[in-house]
Amino acid sequence: MPSELAEGVVAGNRRALARAISHVEADNAQGRELLADLYSRTGRAQTIGITGSAGAGKSTLVGALAREQRKRGRTVGIIAVDPSSPFSHGAILGDRIRMQDLTADGGVFMRSMASRGNLGGLAEMASGVVDLMDAAGFDVVLVETVGAGQDEVEVATATQSTVLVANPGGGDDVQSMKAGLMEIAQIMVVNKADLAGADTAVMQLRGLLAIAEPRAWQPPILKAIARTGEGVPELVDAIDKHQAHVRSDEHAEAERQGLVESQILSLVRAALYREALGAARAEGSIDTLVEEVVLRTRDPRSAATTLIDALRQRWMKP
Amino acid sequence: MATEQRTLRVLIAKPGLDGHDRGAKVVARALRDAGMEVIYTGIRQTPEMIAEAALQEDVDVVGLSILSGAHLEIFPRVISELKKRSVEDVTLFCGGIIPEADIPAVKEMGFSAVFGPGTDTNDIIAFLRENATERA
Ligand SMILES: Nc1nc2c(ncn2[C@@H]2O[C@H](COP(=O)(O)OP(=O)(O)O)[C@@H](O)[C@H]2O)c(=O)[nH]1
Ligand SMILES: [Mg+2]
């Protein structure tokens, strides 16, 4: 029996959606129940990840993409993830600044999220919020993340199409993208094409793609000026094309299953990790083990095995 | 995660036409350093934009900073836009330049605290920890 909140989300009640997102963010029982109830209502939205380094113009581009999607008559849900401070765990979430004009648009709903530093949990959280927006009926869901660590790379499992945002003049920038990010991007865009060196950046990306493993979908490389909106219609066209590929191509069946598989696995990893950490800390057992390893009376591998055994014991208990 | 302490989410917004937001940014940073999640929307926010952002972000607290002297005109509009969206369980506070004489009126509107220039940000943090409404 779906809750009132779940019904509110499906009915397009914005307050219900906002509250539902908070439950999913908190990873509480109500949030999990909502996601279980609503999953059958998902699958309709185009889900698109926008990733790249800090300052690449992701938020500006997300704003421009949303405006173009609205022009095409589509409603848009936006999720912007920024890192939490590793010290205070607080965050300043400023992505709305670049999308101020969209706030007044009833066809747009935007939510800022802090990564909350929960290892592996970010992807879990983000995919949950994507599902809520999908169930709420948005035609397009855009997810902005800083493509920095493994966590952010995993967020790519939450969306069907991932757009990698690069900048001109960043030879190092493009080089450093190789690790992980290239593999997950289905579309690449050199933003700030008004600056010198955009064509060089395109060539560098092309070079990197040429040495990457060949895939059924060849990622196009585009140029854009997010600030003016130049190149943005072409970017939406490219996303639409990839969406058509994901949805209908015979080829795409394996990819679709692969995406769902990696999504499930990343959820399993996050949940196991959290549980293991909880178990290790709850019994204080990790402290003793740490001491022993520091004194070299025990090796780290056997310490890990001991913790895993303790976790197993916990599970065996009725 | 046995003891689930909720992270406070705070919207900091600058309504009206006054241009600079140094004070608002100082507060935003202090709240972040105190472990809160601050949604910062920038300058020149209309009452509609503020209320809509508060709704979408499902914040616990809305803090308004105003220097232009238009608080008696703008604040009631923010409150009515919040009501229109049934966002009624948020804690409201404000800062900036608000004359002593206007403080009772501002509190009457529903603002639980008014912080003038030179306020110690620790006072704001303590106030929010104490007053942010519990959630169902
Ligand atoms: N020159 C130029 N600057 C841009 C462009 N798009 C964004 N910017 C600027 O880049 C900076 C960072 O933008 P933002 O969208 O916040 O980047 P994010 O951190 O990736 O979300 C801002 O000052 C933007 O105005 C562009 O197309 N050209
Ligand atoms: Mg951003």
B73 found inside a domain: yes
Question: pLDDT at residue A74 above 60?
Answer: yes
Cβ count near A111 (within 10 Å): 24
Average pLDDT over residues A209-220: 83
Question: pLDDT at residue A315 above 90?
Answer: no
pLDDT digits (tens, 9 = 90+) for A179-210: 566 778 899 999 999 999 999 999 988 888 88
Give residue B67's domain range: 9-127
Top-confidence residue, B7 or A222: A222
Q: What six digits make up the tokens of A37?
A: 């109830």
Can you give the pLDDT at residue B4? 45
CA distances from B109 to A154, A290, B45, B81, B89 (A): 46, 56, 19, 13, 14
The answer to whether the CB atoms of B42 and A89 lie below 8 A apart is no
Q: Which residues have CB under 8 Å from A256's CB, separation 6+?
A: A246
Residue B13, classed as helix, strand or coil, is strand
Top-confidence residue, B5 or A159: A159
The answer to whether the CB atoms of A96 and B87 lie below 8 A apart is no
Q: Which residues have CB under 8 Å from A17's CB, separation 6+?
A: A8, A9, A109, A132, A133, A136
Residue A75: list chain B partners with CB under 8 A. Answer: none
Q: How far is A129 from chain B (nearest CA, A)?
A: 12
Cβ count near B91 (within 10 Å): 21
Can you give the pLDDT at residue A116? 79
Q: List alpha helices for chain A, DSSP H.
A: 4-10, 14-26, 29-38, 58-71, 121-135, 150-155, 171-176, 181-184, 198-211, 232-248, 252-282, 285-294, 300-316
B100 found inside a domain: yes
CATH of the domain at B84: 3.40.50.280
CA distances from A127 to A80, A185, A303 (A): 12, 17, 33
Q: Which residues have CB under 8 Å from A87's CB, separation 6+?
A: B33
Protein residues with CB under 6 Å of any ligand 1 atom: A 54-60, 98, 191-192, 194-195, 225-227
Question: pLDDT at residue A84 above 70?
Answer: yes
% of chain A with per-residue pLDDT over 70: 90
Domain A43-249 -> CATH class: alpha beta
Q: Which residues have CB under 8 Å from A90's CB, separation 6+?
A: A84, A114, B7, B31, B32, B33, B34, B35, B36, B37, B38
Q: Where are the domains of chain A?
A: 1-41, 43-249, 263-316
For chains A and B, CB pairs below 8 A equal 87
The model carries a pTM of: 0.90
B136 found inside a domain: no
Question: pLDDT at residue A309 above 80?
Answer: yes
The answer to whether the CB atoms of B58 and A89 lie below 8 A apart is no
B84 → chain A, closest CA residue = A15
- Write out the DSSP string of A108-134: EEEEEEE-TT-TTHHHHHHHHHHHHHH
Q: What six digits make up the tokens of A255?
A: 């990819």
pLDDT digits (tens, 9 = 90+) for A21-70: 999 998 899 999 999 999 999 999 999 999 988 899 999 999 999 999 99
CA of B131 to the centre of ligand 2 (A): 30
Looking at residue A74, its amino acid is: R
Q: How far is A89 from chain B (nearest CA, A)?
A: 5
Q: What six digits make up the tokens of A283?
A: 């019994």
Question: pLDDT at residue A171 above 60?
Answer: no
Task: Give the single-character DSSP code of B45.
Answer: B
Can you give the pLDDT at residue B66? 87
Of these ranges, A75-79, A111-115, B115-119, the one predicted with the greatest mean pLDDT is A75-79
B38 vs A19, A92, A100: nearest CB: A92
B132 found inside a domain: no
% of chain A with per-residue pLDDT over 90: 53
Number of compact structural domains in chain B: 1
The answer to whether A15 faces chain B, any CB pair under 8 Å, is yes
Residues with CB under 5 A from ligand 2 (ion): A 58-59, 95
Name the residue among A134, A191, A176 with its Cα closest to residue A158.
Answer: A134
Average pLDDT over residues B49-54: 96
B133 found inside a domain: no
Pick the atom of ligand 1 nearest to A146's CA: 20
CA of A56 to the centre of ligand 1 (A): 6
A3/A6 Cα distance (integer angstroms): 5
A106 → chain B, closest CA residue = B52
Q: How far is A166 from chain B (nearest CA, A)?
A: 25
B33 found inside a domain: yes
CA of A57 to the centre of ligand 2 (A): 7
- Looking at this predicted complex, what is its ipTM? 0.92
The answer to whether the CB atoms of B49 and A112 lie below 8 A apart is no
Can you give the pLDDT at residue A5? 95
A90 vs B1, B35, B87: nearest CB: B35
Average pLDDT, chain A: 87
Task: Give the single-character DSSP code of A230.
Answer: B
Q: Where does residue A40 rank: exposed (0-12), middle (13-18), buried (19+ CB within 10 A)? A: exposed
The answer to whether the CB atoms of B35 and A103 lie below 8 A apart is no
**Number of residues that make up chain B:** 136
Can you give the pLDDT at residue A156? 75
Q: Looking at the CA of A57, name the nearest ligand.
A: 1
Cβ count near A172 (within 10 Å): 8
B37 found inside a domain: yes
CA of A206 to the centre of ligand 2 (A): 25
Average pLDDT over residues A235-263: 83
Can you give the pLDDT at residue A279? 77
- Order of all β-strands in the sheet with A76-82: A108-114, A76-82, A140-146, A46-52, A161-166, A187-191, A221-224
**Number of residues that make up chain A:** 318
Question: pLDDT at residue A148 above 80?
Answer: no
Question: pLDDT at residue A152 above 70?
Answer: no
B51 found inside a domain: yes
Q: Looking at the CA of A198, name the nearest ligand.
A: 1
Q: What six digits make up the tokens of A15?
A: 């307050």
A75: left (phi over 0), alpha (psi -120 to 50) or beta: beta
Can you give the pLDDT at residue B76? 95
B25 → chain A, closest CA residue = A92
Can you give the pLDDT at residue A268? 86
A93 vs B2, B29, B37: nearest CB: B37
A182/A212 Cα distance (integer angstroms): 8
CA distances from A13 to A135, A198, B55, B69 (A): 11, 43, 11, 35
Task: Give the single-character DSSP code of A225.
Answer: B
The strand pair at A187-191 and B37-40 is best described as unpaired
